[in-house]
Amino acid sequence: MRAAVVLLAALVVSCCVAVTLGLVCLPDACSKQICDYTITPETCQGEFDPKGSSCRCCPFCTKLLGQ
């Protein structure tokens, strides 16, 4: 029974660490990200954000849907 509690606690801690690392951008995150620099205000048919990707590294184009 005690081993099951320890294993469950380790699983919970592992999940918390994984979620935290997934939400936090490390200082060198942009150096490891491959950006598509063909996305420009001219090629974007929507709302252009020069730093709109995850961790604010790459240009991003949001396609707006009609109402």
Q: Is the pLDDT of residue 17 over 60?
A: yes
Interatomic CA distance for residues 57 and 54, integer angstroms: 7
Structural contact between residues 60 and 37, judged by C-beta atoms closer than 8 angstroms? no
Is position 67 within any domain?
Answer: no
Is position 54 within any domain?
Answer: yes
Is position 53 within any domain?
Answer: yes
Is position 7 within any domain?
Answer: yes
Structural contact between residues 26 and 54, judged by C-beta atoms closer than 8 angstroms? no
Is position 14 within any domain?
Answer: yes
Domain count, the chain: 1
Is position 20 within any domain?
Answer: yes
| pTM exceeding 0.75 | no
Average pLDDT on 44-58 reads 88
Which two three-digit tokens encode residue 7? 């294993």
> What domain range is 15 assigned to?
2-62
Is position 17 within any domain?
Answer: yes
